[in-house]
Every structure is written in structure tokens, then in C-alpha cells.
Structure 1
Amino acid sequence: MSQLLDKAKNFIAEKVADMPKPEANTTDVDFKDVTRQSVEYLAKVNVSNPYSTSIPICEIKYSFKSANREIASGTVPDPGSLKASDTTLLNVLVKVPHNIIVSLVKDIGADWDIDYQLDVGLVIDLPIIGNFTIPLCQKGEIKLPSISDFFA
């Protein structure tokens, strides 16, 4: 009897491993706004759903790093769901406190940009499988706004 259960488990595990899974990529990270408390950046994430039903997204976790240290992290709770058999654009708002930007002066002063790494984890609820995290990593640089950007 235990051999039959083992064969059934292996069969199900193989079928689940071969199932198509949603895929995601970060398309853009740009400066969005300056507030009294922080500088805001907007990350755009495209997620393709291969299934004919929509999939709920439980949360989006992010970590924003520069100069080999984490300068912002957080979660976006309940951002909606992925459209069935389509690509969904998700916006992830990253808020970096001003005091951390000031501590990056050495990197900023050289070329007036921030070299960054954005790690995003999309936690989705797949039927049968359960919660599944799609990890993303984007590296790049963000040009900082100049005074003329505020008055143009």
C-alpha cells in the first residue's frame, strides 16, 4: 500500500513541476515624487498569467538596495489579481527616507544618480500548489532630479 502512495505522490509532484507558472519581469524603475518625509520611486512589474482564470496576488514584498546596503523595504498588501491569460502591470511604490539619501552622497556626487538593486517577491495563490513566490531582481541606476526638473 505504501508503494502505491509513493507512486501517487511522485506522479502528482511531476505533474505540478511541469505546470506552467506565472512569469514576471521589472520593466522600469523611475523617480516619482519628493515628499517631506521621503523620495518616492515607482517600479513597474509585468506579470504574465498562463492560466485561463485570474490569480489573486497575496502581497508584493520589496527590498531596495544601494551601495551594498538596504535603503528601503516593505510590502504592498493585497494588490489585486492577475488577469486570466494576459499580462498584468503592477506598480510598486518604493519610499526612501531623505536621511538615507543623504548617506549615499559619495555615490550620488560622482554622477548624480543612484546605483540600485531592487528585489521583488510576488506572492501569489496558485490553485492546488498554494502560495508561490516569484522572485525578481533588477539592477540599474536612477538619475536624480535637478532643480530645473521641479520648475519645468
Structure 2
Amino acid sequence: MAQLLEKAKEFVAEKIAGIPKPEATVTDVDLKDVNRSSVEYLVKVSVTNPYPHPLPICDITFSLKSSGREIASGKIPDPGSLKGKDVTELDVPVVVPHSIIVSLARDIGSDWDIDYELQLVLIIDLPIVGNISIPASSKGEIKLPTLKDIF
């Protein structure tokens, strides 16, 4: 009986490993808003759903790092769902307080930007299988707002 149960587990694991999964890609990181306390960036994420039916997104978590330090992180609960057999564009707002930007003065220095590393994880609810994590990441430079952007 134990051997039969073990074979069944292996069979199910093999079948689940071969199932196509949604894929996420960070397509853009852009300045959205500047206010007295923070700078808000908008991260655009493109998610491809290989299934013919919509899939609910449980939540999105993100971490924005610069110079090895985390400068922003957060979680967006229940951001909607992925369209069936289509590409869904998601907007993820990332708020960076001015106090953290000031502490990155050396990196900002000459070129008025922040070198960043963004890690993002979408938790998708697949029927029967359960929740799966879809990672996406991006590295690049974020331009800081100038006085012209503020006023």
C-alpha cells in the first residue's frame, strides 16, 4: 500500500511540474508623483496567462533595493485577476520616502539617479494546484525628480 501511495505522489508531482505557469516581466519603472514626503514610482508588470480562464491574483509583494539597502517594500492585496489566454498589464505603485533618498546621496551624486534592483512576486491561485509564486525582477536606474518636476 505504501508503494502505491508513493507512486501516486510521484505521478502527481511529475504532472504538476509539466503544467505551464503564468510568466511575469517588469516592463517599466517610471516616475509617477512627487510630494512633500515621498517620491512615487510606477512599476509596470506584464503577466502572460497560458490558461483559457481568468486566474485570481492573491497578492503582489515587492522589494526595491539600492546600494544593497532596501529603500521600499510593500504588499498589494487582491489586485484583481489575469485575463484568460492573454497578457495582463499591472501597475504597482512604489513609494520611496525623501529621507531614504537623502541617505543615498553618494549614489545620486553625479548623474541624479538611483541604481536599483526590484524584486516582485505575484501569488496566483491555480485551481486544484493551489497558490503558486511568480517572480519577476529588474535592475536599472531610476531618475530622480528635478525642481521642474516638483513645480
**TM-score, normalization: structure 1?**
0.95
Structure 2 stretches of 5 or more lacking a match?
Answer: none
- Give the whole-Å Cα distance in 2 for the aligned partners of 1:62 and 1:148: 29
Q: Give the counterpart letter for 2:8 in structure 1.
A: A
Q: CA deviation at 1:2?
A: 1.6
Residue 83 (structure 1) aligned with residue 87 (structure 2): no
Contact 2:44 2:89 in 1 (8 A): yes
Within 2, Cα distance between the matches of 1:146 and 1:101? 13
Partner of 1:8: 8
> Where in structure 1 are there 5+ consecutive unaligned residues?
none
Counterpart residue number, 1:141: 141
Give, in whole Å, the separation in 2 of the partners of 1:110 and 1:65.
Answer: 19
Question: Superposition pairs for residues 3-152 of structure 1, below 5 Å?
Answer: 3-150=3-150
1: distance between equivalents of 2:48 and 2:35? Answer: 33
Aligned mates of 2:91, 2:121 — CA distance in 1: 13
- Give the aligned residue type for 2:127: P
How far, CA to CA, are the matches of 2:104 and 2:149 in structure 1?
21
Q: Over aligned residue pairs, what C-alpha RMSD do you find?
A: 1.1
Separation in structure 2 between the aligned mates of residue 5 and residue 145 of structure 1, nearest angstrom: 60
Q: Give deviations 1:26-52, integer Å, cap 9, x for gaps.
A: 000011111222100000000000011
Amino acid at match of 1:33: D
Count of aligned pairs: 151
Residue 63 of structure 2 contacts residue 118 of structure 2 at CA under 8 Å; is this kept in 1?
yes
SS of 1:95's partner is: strand
**Residue 5 of structure 1: CA displacement?**
1.5
Q: Give me the identity figure in percent.
A: 65
TM-score scaled by structure 2? 0.96
Q: CA deviation at 1:150?
A: 4.3
Q: Is the 8 A contact 2:34 2:145 kept in 1?
A: no
Q: CA deviation at 1:137?
A: 1.3
| Secondary structure at 1:75 match in 2 | strand
- 1:131: Cα distance to partner? 1.0
SS at match of 1:110: coil
Alpha-carbon distance, 1:145 to partner? 2.3
